[in-house]
Amino acid sequence: MIHDFYEQRVFPHILDRVMRGMEELRPGVLEAAHGDVLEIGFGTGLNLRHYPEAVGSLSTVDPMNALPEKVTRRIEAAGFPVKLHHLPADGGLPFDSGRFDTATVTWTLCTIPDPVAALREVKRVLKPGARLHFIEHGLSDDPSVAGWQQRFNSVQNVIGCGCNLNRKIDQLIREAEFELPDFDFFVGEGMPRMFGTLYRGAAIS
Ligand SMILES: C[S@@+](CC[C@H](N)C(=O)[O-])C[C@H]1O[C@@H](n2cnc3c(N)ncnc32)[C@H](O)[C@@H]1O
């Protein structure tokens, strides 16, 4: 019960505040989005203002309905129609195959319970050859940091409402049969490596 209160009333505010700290990293991920776009794990809509003019529409999938008044204001300020779907992305997506020109996911594959199932669905609903643009945090390549990530993971799971520190994001994307010729792997400026080991790139469906 305490955790329900935390998850529904407290966590959305923390999420919005913490994720606003990632503003500088968003434009580089979203600048190539175009046409009909699918975003998995919409959160509080912080990507909206970074989408380029080439975006025609945005469909989002996220089970959480976080800070609805704030999100409505952000949607109203966007220059394209936005349709929210409050569903888990790993439970099957309610879209026809080959429907989207672009997909995006930012700081979400850490949290989806079955990320490979969600990614397989994203691949299905993307046009062949279309791209999934992503930035995610995940497992460090430094064994000492990775060890701390493993030890702290169960705590992070509770305070981050399902967030994991120990996922190898490139592996998940390839497991879902996307092509991922290369990607950036780096530590975000000023971020502790436990939380700031970042995977960024564009996977091809
Ligand atoms: C750390 S937040 C990131 C939010 C946003 N993408 C951003 O960049 O600010 C992780 C998001 O994943 C969402 N999420 C959790 N489980 C999910 C699922 N099964 N399918 C889709 N999204 C999910 C959460 O509700 C939350 O909004």
Atom of ligand 1 lying closest to residue 89 CA? 20
Please choose from 62, 105, 136 the residue to mutate so as to test ligand 1's pocket, defined by most ligand atoms within 8 A of CB: 62
Strand order in the sheet with 126-137: 82-85, 55-61, 35-40, 100-106, 126-137, 197-204, 184-187
Interatomic CA distance for residues 199 and 106, integer angstroms: 10
Q: Exposed, middle or buried by CB within 10 Å (0-12, 13-18, 19+), for 148?
A: middle
Domain of residue 84, residue span: 2-204
Cα of 43 from ligand 1 centre, angstroms: 5
Average pLDDT, the chain: 96
The full 3-state SS of 1-15, as one line of letters, equals: CHHHHHHHHHHHHHH
d(CA 25, CA 98): 28
Q: Read off the CATH number of the domain in which 13 is found.
A: 3.40.50.150
Q: Look at residue 9 and tell me whether its pLDDT is greater than 90.
A: no
What integer is the mean pLDDT of 37-42? 98
pTM: 0.97
Closest alpha carbon to 130 in 165, 106, 100: 100
* Residues counted in the chain: 205
Number of domains in the chain: 1
Counting ligand 1 atoms within 8 A of each CB, the residue from 111, 116, 156 with the most, and so the one to mutate, is 111
Average pLDDT estimate for 60-74: 96
In the numeric block, the tokens 């460090």 are attached to: 140
Q: How far is the centre of ligand 1, averaged over its atoms, from the C-alpha of 64 (Å)?
A: 8
Q: How far apart (Å, rounded) are the C-alpha atoms in residues 164 and 177?
A: 22
Q: Look at ligand 1, atom 16, and give the residue with the nearest C-alpha.
A: 112
Q: Which residues line ligand 1 (CB under 6 A)?
A: 15, 19, 40-41, 43, 46-47, 61-64, 88-90, 106-108, 111-113, 118, 162
- Ligand 1, atom 10, residue with closest C-alpha: 108
What are the tens digits of pLDDT across the range 103-154?
A: 999 999 999 999 999 999 999 999 999 999 999 999 999 999 999 999 999 9
Instruction: List the residue whose alpha carbon is closest to atom 13 of ligand 1.
Output: 41
Tell me if residue 26 falls in helix, strand or coil.
helix
Tell me what the mean pLDDT of segment 184-205 comes to.
97
